[in-house]
Structure 1
């Protein structure tokens, strides 16, 4: 099926899939799964891809739009891969959502208590949900990598 789609339709499919991913994220949030800082960050490139898709839908397709969509999808994949690595403890995540309180050696006890009270509750290094053994960040990394390919195919077909 993908082999027969035009460049424009591939781009619209990729943008629509980003919209579905955003809606799914909001539905999980509505169901009580609170997003961490990195979860929220992963949504922005998908929103950019949806906006690119809307531009294509309403004003016409251009190869540059497909390249911009590809860049947005690649950014989403990179952020999601980084987040999945944080969850797997392959590398440290941001201190704001990975339990870090900064340098506490020179902090008074009352300042430390204030830091703990004001720290973010939703942790980036603990998956809220595993689906078939993968976290939502890992699934987003896979989906976003696929979307990067779709946008890329769209750009290639536009260049013909």
Structure 2
């Protein structure tokens, strides 16, 4: 496979990830949490990077594509741990203890709580969540971008 073909395939892979996320959001009625959005941003970057790589045929873009995919994979791993209660997520999108809170503090916490929580699993297939699948797929995409970066012409 040529570098150009692999670049096109990887660009389309990130496009497919975004389209899938939008499908879950708009067709499946699974609104994303804050960390779900964070996982999308590197895919948007990879699409732009892929377009530039195809147009300019410069290896630097393959390295940037790999970096973008490693970032979203890392966010996916972190989000997976938050979903599985292995560690706490950002306080702005995860549950927090209500022990010792005054009524006013509890009310303020409830009123400022996000609509979609990062520490709950809205969808799962064979034990894999959307964050798990993003982490795994994006790691594979990162390997693809690295292959493009080091492949001899």
Determine whether 1:138 maps to 2:132: yes
Determine whether 1:17 maps to 2:13: yes
What displacement does 1:55 show? 1.2
Alpha carbons 2:53, 2:59 under 8 Å: kept: no
Measure the CA separation in 1 of the matches of 2:105 and 2:77: 34
Alpha carbons 1:93, 1:125 under 8 Å: kept: yes
Name the count of aligned residue pairs.
Answer: 152
When the two structures are superposed, what TM-score results if normalisation uses the length of structure 1?
0.88
What displacement does 1:11 show? 1.7
Which of these residues, 57, 67, 70, is aligned with residue 71 of structure 1?
67
Alpha carbons 1:104, 1:112 under 8 Å: kept: no
Where does structure 1 differ by over 3 angstroms across 4 or more consecutive aligned residues? Answer: none
Which of these residues, 104, 109, 129, is aligned with residue 110 of structure 1?
104
Determine whether 1:155 maps to 2:149: yes
Measure the CA separation in 2 of the matches of 1:108 and 1:33: 33
Measure the CA separation in 2 of the matches of 1:112 and 1:22: 36
CA RMSD of aligned residues (A): 1.7
3-state secondary structure, aligned to 1:29: helix
Which of these residues, 109, 120, 125, is aligned with residue 119 of structure 2?
125
What displacement does 1:139 show? 0.4
3-state secondary structure, aligned to 1:26: helix
Measure the CA separation in 2 of the matches of 1:155 and 1:47: 19
Measure the CA separation in 1 of the matches of 2:6 and 2:124: 30
Alignment gaps of 5+ in structure 1: none
Which of these residues, 53, 58, 61, is aligned with residue 56 of structure 1?
53
Measure the CA separation in 1 of the matches of 2:79 and 2:117: 11
Alignment gaps of 5+ in structure 2: none
Measure the CA separation in 2 of the matches of 1:153 and 1:28: 30
